[in-house]
Amino acid sequence: MILLSATGRWVLAEPAKVQPSDLDIQVDFSKPAGVLKPLHGVNGGPRAVGRHSGDMVTLHKEAGFPIVRLHDCNWPHPDVVDIPTIFPLFHLDADDPKNYQFAKTDAYIKPIIENGASILYRMGVSIEHKSPRFHVAPPEDFEKWSKICINILRHYNDGWADGFHYNIRHVEIWNEIESSLMWRGTDEQYFELYRTAVTAIKKYNPKIMVGGPVTSIPDGPVVRPFLKYCRDNKVPLDFFSWHSYSDTTMEPLLKRIKTARSLLDEYGFKKTESWCTEWKPIISGWKKIRWNKNTPRHTVRDAFAENRNHEAAAFAASALLQMQDASVDMAFYYCADDSPWSMFDMFGEPGRTYFAMKAFNQFLQAPNRVAVTGAPELNEIAVGAGLSEDGKMAMLLASNFRSEKQRLRIDLQHLPWEGKLKVSSWRIDENNEYAQEKVKGINPDNPILSLDLPAGTVLLVRLGVDGF
C-alpha cells in the first residue's frame, strides 16, 4: 500500500497486521436455563506420602469435588479399596471380621468423607499393566465374592467390624472387562457376576445405586449384550458406567455421551442414569506416554506433565460447560491423586487442570443458569453464566480450548441490578495458575464485558453490585 507521508512523500507502507476478530456473546439474565450440574467428580482421593508431599486434602476441599470414585487407588501399587487387599485370603470365612484388613482403606477414605464428598465404590480390582497379573481372573465363587462386597458396605455404612456410618450409596461392579489388564474371564461370566452382586446389594439395601459394565467405550462390544442380558433377566441397572479418553478434540466425549443415552433408551433403560466414570484429554497424544526401547529420557515424564497444563485445563473447563446440556448425569475426571495420570504431580503439586476444576467449583456458587448465545463450543470457545440463589451475584466461566479468536465481547442483557457493577476475574493460562486480575467496573448504561481469551485460557468472572 502506498501512502502520503507527513513530509509529502509517497512511501510504501507495511500491510496492516490481521488481528483476531472479536467474538460476540450474549448473556440474557431474564432467561433461566436450568441448574448447573456438579459434574467435576474425580477418580482417586487425596494422598500424602511423607513430608515431601503437598497438602492434597486441602486442595481437594477447595476444589469441592462432589464425588470420588474409588478405582486404581494408590496406583501403581494399590493396597487399598480392592477386594483382594481387604479380603486377601479368599478361602477364609467371609462372615468373620478378623479375615478383613480395613485399616489402610479406612485411612484412605476418611479425608474424602471429611471433605464432604460422596463415594462411588468400585468393587473389584485395579488395572495390572505388567505380567504376571494376580487379581484379574473372575472370582472363584460369585456368591461369596458378593457377600464380601456386602460386608465392605456394612463396614462403611453400618459400623460392622469397628466400622463407620458413611452412607455410601453408589457401587460399581468391576472395571473395563474388555481389557485383559483387568478381566480374564468371558463376557458371560461378568454378566453373571454383576447379576449376583447387584441382587445381593439390593437385598442388603435397595437404596444403593449399582452400575456396570464400566466399559472403556459406551458402544464397545460388551455393551449391547450386557444391556440385553439385564433387560431380559430383569437385572437392576441404576447407572450405566462408561469411559472416554480424547486425544486433541472434544468430539469423542460429546459423541459418546449421546451414544450412551441412545443405547440405554433403545434397550428400555430410560430411567437409568448415564455416568462417565473416567474422562480425560491426552494433550500429548497416546504415543508419548508409552515407553519403548527407543524412548528418549524424560519423554514420558514430560508428556504426562503436558496432560495437566493450560491446554488440558481449557479442555476440562470447556468439557464441564458443554456437558451441562448433554445427556450425562455424572462425570469423573481421571484422576486426582498422585499418579502420573493425575491433575497433581507425584509431590501433590496441582497442575493447571486442577485450577480449572477449582474455577468450576467457584462457578457453582451461581447455580441458576441463564441463557448464553454466540459461543461456538466444541473445540473453540465455551461460555456459561449463572445467578446465585439470592440473586445478588452472577458468575461467568469462559474457556478457549483451541479457537483463533482471542477477544470476547459479552453483552450482559437484562441485568437484575441497578448501579455500577463490581467485577472480579481469575485467569488460568500458560503463565497463570489461578491469578486474580483487576477489572474495571461496568457501566450499567452500556453493560459490555470485554475479555482477552487466547487459546489455552480459562477465565472465571464474578459480577455484582455494592455489598455482594
* Chain segment 61-104, per-residue pLDDT in tens: 999 999 999 999 998 889 999 999 999 999 999 999 999 999 99
Residue showing cell 462408561? 242
Determine the pLDDT at residue 21: 57
Please tell me the distance from the alpha carbon of residue 305 to that of residue 262, in angstroms, as a whole number.
35
Please give the single-letter amino acid code of residue 386. G
| Count of H-run helices and E-run strands, the chain | 10, 19
Q: State which residues of the chain have pLDDT below 70.
A: 1-21, 466-468
What is the DSSP secondary structure assignment for residue 31, as one 8-state letter?
E
Instruction: Name beta bridge partners: 327.
Output: none
**Residue 60 half-sphere exposure toward CB, CA atoms < 13 A:** 32
Q: What is the CATH number of domain 23-33+367-464?
A: 2.60.40.1180
Instruction: From residue 251, give the alpha-carbon distance in Å to each of 117, 186, 207, 237, 298.
Output: 29, 31, 35, 27, 30
Give 363-376 pLDDT, tens digit per residue.
Answer: 999 999 999 999 99
Residue spans of the domains in the chain: they are 23-33+367-464, 39-363
The three cell numbers locating residue 151 = 460386608
What is the DSSP secondary structure assignment for residue 8, as one 8-state letter?
S
Please give the single-letter amino acid code of residue 366. A
Determine the pLDDT at residue 359: 98
Determine the pLDDT at residue 5: 32
Please tell me the distance from the alpha carbon of residue 177 to that of residue 427, in angstroms, as a whole number.
40
Determine the pLDDT at residue 239: 98
Instruction: Give this prediction's pTM.
Output: 0.93
Which CATH code of 3.40.50.300, 3.30.2080.10, 3.20.20.80, 3.40.190.290 fits the domain covering 39-363? 3.20.20.80
Determine the pLDDT at residue 467: 53
